[in-house]
Amino acid sequence: MRGVRPGVIPRAGGRRTPGGVRLRRRSGDVPDALWSLPAVAGGARRPRHAGAERGRADSADGTPAAGLRLGRPGPDRDGAEGGIGVAGEGGREAGASDGRASGGRASGGLASGRWAPEQHLRRGLSLSAAVTAVGRGLKDGMAAARRDGHPIIVRQLLTAMRHADRGLEIAELTARHEEDLVAGFDIAGAEDGFPPSRQLDAFRFLEREGIPYTIHAGEAVGPESVQEAVEVCHAQRIGHGVRLIEDIDLSGAEPVLGETAALVRSRRIPLEVCPSSNLQTGVAASLAEHPVDRLHRLGFEVTISCDNRLVSRTTLSREYALLVETFGWTLDDVRATVDRAVRAAFVDDDTKERIAGHVAHTWPH
């Protein structure tokens, strides 16, 4: 659950961030275009051809730095239980369309709406009908944003709840709905007691079909959860992953990476880090104690997200402002996470290049 307004990088150059601090920059003025820079996220499915990456391979494919989670949260803290709609097909379609208002104000934006169809079957909806309705709503929302002069690309990531044992069913649903803007797959919900391998048949199916997926791991459970997600389930992205810090010995003059941490870093597997949400779930007692900056400095593929912006009462701008305020992040640090997000997005190479070009064009030099 990575709720976010995918479009606003913290203000600087005499303007205050949401946290009331000024974002430091290396030199030069900051153009107004920067303030509409999209927070890049997951998007369209990779093409199914011989050149499309499968599994981790040696690519830099990985994590959305900021996914768009549409709708209100449900009963569980972790995952895609936040609804895109709650009242039948028409309501679901309208909810998805309205969701673009949270993310469609930035030209060139790319975002993913991650949700669990199995939790949206009220009033007689089937899984397929729910996904189709959301797809129509997203298409309507993108069309409206384009008419408003703020085009945005939005895709669905379908999530299976870890405790429900419907992973393969939802994975097959993902494969059937590419035309409804379905980009990929995730598992969410309670991490402790429901390891990624419980959904192994789903991941094997997705690998065969060439469909990208991300796995929540390393938040409620330690590095062993990440290890299983990567080595057994071949995760292309890791949701959270911050407890990898427990696999790093920081007692000496130089950090020493354990086996899992070294593997994740060497494969450049992106981490979807959600600082404020992690504080709420007890990963750290304060942001100053949160491992996000340490992991970033150690060269991990850290990206920044909101998790659920409604539950966490945050935005991507606020997350970055807090990192600036707490760790002294500069525009270079922000740019690094955005660049990683572009590389990690579940989109074809042409779309990645287009978004990367937008970032390069709008970023201060």
Instruction: Write down the catalytic residue from 89, 118, 191, 219.
Output: 219
Residue closest to 205 by CA, chosen among 226, 184, 191, 188: 184
H or E element: which one contains 238?
strand 237-240
DSSP H helical segments within the chain, as ranges?
Answer: 88-103, 127-147, 167-176, 200-209, 223-227, 259-266, 275-280, 292-297, 316-327, 331-344, 349-362
What stretches of 210-267 show up as alpha helix (H) in DSSP? Answer: 223-227, 259-266
Q: Which two tokens stand for residue 214?
A: 């991300």
Q: Tokens for 172, please give them.
A: 């097959």
The pair of structure tokens assigned to 157 is: 């990531």
Q: Verify whether residue 169 is a known catalytic residue.
A: no
**CA distances for 37 relative to 60, 218, 363, angstroms:** 22, 29, 8
Q: State the Cα–Cα distance between residues 318 and 338, nearest whole angstrom.
A: 15
Please, how many CA atoms are within 13 Å of residue 257, restricted to the half-sphere of its CB?
14
Cα gap 36→362, rounded to integer Å: 9
Q: What distances in angstroms separate CA 265 from CA 57, 214, 228, 295, 321, one per listed residue?
A: 14, 16, 15, 10, 26
**Per-residue CA distances from 316 to 200, 297, 304 (Å):** 32, 20, 8
Q: Cα separation of 90 and 32, whole Å?
A: 38
Q: What is the DSSP string of 84-122?
A: S-SSHHHHHHHHHHHHHHHHTTSTTEEEEEEE-GGG--G
What DSSP character marks residue 216? Answer: E
Catalytic residues: 219
